[in-house]
Copies of this chain bind each other. A is one copy, B any other.
Amino acid sequence: MNPEHILTLRVRYPEADPMGYLHHSRYLQYFEMGRIELLRSLGHSYAELEQQGVFFVVVKVEVRYRAPARFDDELTLTTKVVKQTHVRIDHAYELRKGSTLLAEATTTIACVDRNGELTQIPQFLQPPESAA
C-alpha cells in the first residue's frame, strides 16, 4: 500500500487573482505542502532533511485544472506516492472543494545533494518493500 495523506487548507487572499480565482501557480505550492505533510506523517521532517544535506527538486509537473477555487474556500488535498526509485519519487494529487474535483496532478521529484547533484534517496526514506 502506498503512503497517502489528506491535507485541509484554506485559500488565502493574496493567493487569489483579479478573476477571484486561486492562481494556477499556487496549486504547485499546495502540492509541495502535501508532499511535506505526507513525509511528516511518515515521521520525517523535510526541514531536517535539508539540514542533513538531503534535498528534493521537482523535475516534472503535470496539472489538469477542472474547476476554480476562490478566496476563503476550504479545500482538501490528497497526496500519494505512486512510484519510487532509488533517486526519484512520483506523487499524484487530487484537490477538492467538498466533493468537487478542482485539479488532478502528478509530479516527479529527484533527490539531490547540497550542490544540486543527483544522489540516492537515503535508505531511511525508502519504503519497507524496497528493502526486500
A residues adjacent to B (C-beta < 8 A): 12-14, 16-21, 23-26, 28-29, 32-33, 36, 45-47, 50, 55, 57-65, 68, 70-72, 116
List the number of copies, as a whole number: 4
**Chain A: interface secondary structure?**
mixed
Our pick among B13, B25, B57 for the contact of A18 (Cβ within 8 Å) is B13
Q: Are B60 and A65 in contact (CB under 8 A)?
A: yes
Our pick among B21, B46, B50, B70 for the contact of A47 (Cβ within 8 Å) is B70
Task: Determine the distance from Cα of A65 to Cα of B50 in the docked complex, in whole angstroms.
Answer: 20
Q: Are A14 and B12 in contact (CB under 8 A)?
A: no
Q: Contacts of A57 on B, CB cut-off 8 Å?
A: 19, 21, 24, 65, 68
A16 to chain B, nearest CB (A): 5
Our pick among B16, B36, B47 for the contact of A17 (Cβ within 8 Å) is B16
Nearest B residue to A32 by beta-carbon distance? B13
Q: Are B59 and A72 in contact (CB under 8 A)?
A: no
Q: Contacts of A23 on B, CB cut-off 8 Å?
A: 13-14, 29
Q: Are B59 and A65 in contact (CB under 8 A)?
A: yes
Task: Determine the distance from Cα of A14 to Cα of B65 in the docked complex, in whole angstroms.
Answer: 17
Q: Contacts of A14 on B, CB cut-off 8 Å?
A: 17, 23, 25-26, 29, 32
Q: Do A18 and B58 form a contact, CB below 8 Å, given A25-B29, A29-B25, A36-B13? A: no
